[in-house]
C-alpha cells in the first residue's frame, strides 16, 4: 500500500462536492505539459466513469506529442473556442484546477475562471499556492500532479474506475514531470503506482516512445545547432546558457515543442549545477531553467525573470531584447554563487 498523505477532512469534503455536482470543468496551466494534460485527462476519465458531465478546458493547444492520449481530441482549447470555454465555466458546478497554483497561470482564461461561481478545487505540486480555491490539495513534495490525482482517486475509493485510458494519462504525467523517472523520482510509492498502472494494461514503453521519441529532422538539427553553436559555459559559476532568437528558430522551421528538452542538456555536464534556455517567442523571451541538488532556480526566475516554479525546474518571461535578457542573466550570476 502507498502511504497516506492527503488530508482526510479534505478528501471527505471533495467527496461531498462530487456527490452533489453534475457539470465539471477541469483546467490546467497555459502551455500545458505532460503532467498538466496527463493529470487533467486522467481525472476526466475517472469522473466521466462516475457518471459526471466532464470537460477539460485548456488555455491553449496541448503539444502535438500528447495528442495521442485518450480524450485529448475532446479537449476544449480556449484560444480556439473562447465562447464555448466561457460557457462551460459559467455552467459548471465544480471546477478542478490542476498543476497550477495561481490564476494568472491560465493566462487569458483567468477572467472566466475567476468569474465562475462554481466551487474550485486545486490539485497541485507547486510551492506557495494562491488561496483562490475552495479546497486545496497542494503537495510540493510530490513529483507530479498526476501522481496526486492517482492518490486522490484511491482515497475517494474510486480505484476501480481507473481504466486503461485513465492509467495511460496518469502514467504520462508521472513520467514527464520526472524526466522518465530520472529526477524527483526516489519516492518508493512512485513504483507501486506504476505497478498498479501496468496492471491496468498500459504499455509504458510505448508511452515513452510516443512522448519522447517524436523527433523531426529539423527539430534534431535545431537542437544540434543550439548545443554546438549557442551553448555558453560559465565555469566559475557552474552555469550554462543556451539562447535561440526568432531568426534562428525560423531558419530551422521551429514548431512548438521542438526545444522541449534542450534546457536539460547542459546539466549532463558534471561541472554544471544550473542552466538556462532562452527562446525568443512573439512578444517576450521565454526563460527556462534547470538545476541540480539544492540550487534554487525558482528564486532566480522569481527575482529576475518574472516567473517561478520548482527548486530544480523553473521558468519565466522577460520583456525586452534577447541581448538584454542575456545581459541580465550574466550580470546576476555572481549573486547566486552562494547557492553552489
CB 54, min distance to ligand 5GP, A: 24
Region at 128 (left for phi over 0; alpha for psi -120 to 50; beta for the rest): left
Stretch that binds Mn ion, among 54-62, 144-152, 207-215, 228-236 (CB under 5 A): 144-152
Distance of CA 294 to the CA centre of its chain: 21
Q: Which of 177, 248, 258, 260 binds Mn ion (CB under 5 A)?
A: 177
The answer to whether 258 contacts Mn ion (rule: CB under 5 A) is no
CB 199 → ligand 5GP: shortest distance, Å? 29
Closer residue to Mn ion in complex, CB, 145/273: 145
Choose the one of ligand 5GP, Mn ion, none that binds residue 313, judging by a C-beta under 5 to 8 angstroms depending on kind. ligand 5GP
Q: Does 124 bind Mn ion (CB under 5 A)?
A: no
CA pair distance 302, 31, nearest whole angstrom: 19
DSSP 145-182: HHHHHHHHHHHTT-GGG--HHHHHHHHHHHHHTTTTTT
Tell me which residues touch ligand 5GP (CB under 6 A): 126, 263, 288, 307-310, 313-317
- The C-alpha atoms of residue 219 and residue 136 are separated, in whole angstroms, by 39
Helix (H) or strand (E) holding 277: strand 274-281
CB-nearer residue toward Mn ion: 145 or 289: 145
Which of the 8 DSSP states describes residue 102? S
| Strand bridging mode 120-124 / 23-28 | unpaired
The binder of 315, among Mn ion, ligand 5GP, none, by C-beta within 5 to 8 A per type, is ligand 5GP
35 lies in the site for Mn ion, by CB under 5 A: yes
Q: Which does 310 bind (CB under 5 to 8 A by kind): Mn ion, ligand 5GP, none?
A: ligand 5GP
Amino acid at each position: 500500500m502507498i502511504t497516506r498523505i492527503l488530508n482526510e477532512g479534505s478528501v471527505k469534503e471533495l467527496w461531498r462536492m462530487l456527490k452533489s455536482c453534475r457539470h465539471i470543468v477541469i483546467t490546467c496551466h497555459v502551455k500545458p505539459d505532460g503532467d498538466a494534460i496527463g493529470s487533467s485527462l486522467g481525472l476526466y476519465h475517472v469522473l466521466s466513469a462516475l457518471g459526471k458531465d466532464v470537460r477539460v478546458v485548456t488555455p491553449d493547444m496541448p503539444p502535438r506529442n500528447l495528442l495521442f492520449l485518450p480524450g485529448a481530441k475532446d479537449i476544449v482549447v480556449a484560444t480556439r473556442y473562447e465562447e464555448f470555454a466561457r460557457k462551460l465555466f459559467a455552467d459548471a458546478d465544480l471546477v478542478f484546477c490542476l498543476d497550477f497554483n495561481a490564476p494568472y497561470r491560465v493566462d487569458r482564461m483567468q477572467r472566466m475562471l475567476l468569474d465562475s461561481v462554481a466551487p474550485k478545487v486545486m490539485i497541485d505540486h507547486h510551492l506557495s499556492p494562491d488561496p483562490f480555491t475552495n479546497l486545496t490539495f497542494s503537495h510540493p513534495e510530490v513529483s507530479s500532479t498526476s501522481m496526486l490525482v492517482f492518490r486522490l482517486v484511491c482515497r475517494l475509493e474510486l480505484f476501480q474506475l481507473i481504466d486503461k485510458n485513465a492509467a495511460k494519462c496518469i502514467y504520462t504525467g508521472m513520467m514527464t514531470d520526472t524526466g522518465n523517472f530520472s529526477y524527483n523520482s526516489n519516492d518508493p510509492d512512485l513504483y507501486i503506482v506504476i505497478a498498479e498502472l501496468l496492471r491496468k494494461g498500459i504499455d509504458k514503453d510505448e508511452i515513452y516512445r510516443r512522448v519522447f521519441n517524436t523527433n523531426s529532422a529539423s527539430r534534431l538539427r535545431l537542437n544540434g545547432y543550439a548545443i554546438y553553436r549557442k551553448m555558453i559555459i560559465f565555469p566559475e559559476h557552474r552555469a550554462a546558457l543556451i539562447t535561440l532568437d526568432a531568426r534562428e528558430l525560423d531558419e530551422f522551421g521551429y514548431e512548438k515543442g521542438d526545444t522541449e528538452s534542450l534546457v536539460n542538456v547542459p546539466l549532463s555536464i558534471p561541472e554544471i549545477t544550473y542552466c538556462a534556455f532562452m527562446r525568443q517567442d512573439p512578444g517576450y523571451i521565454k526563460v527556462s531553467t534547470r538545476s541540480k541538488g539544492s540550487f534554487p532556480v525558482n528564486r532566480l526566475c522569481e527575482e529576475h525573470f518574472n516567473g517561478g516554479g520548482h527548486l530544480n525546474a523553473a521558468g519565466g518571461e522577460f520583456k525586452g531584447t534577447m541581448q538584454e535578457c542575456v545581459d541580465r542573466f550574466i550580470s546576476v550570476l555572481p549573486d547566486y554563487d552562494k547557492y553552489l
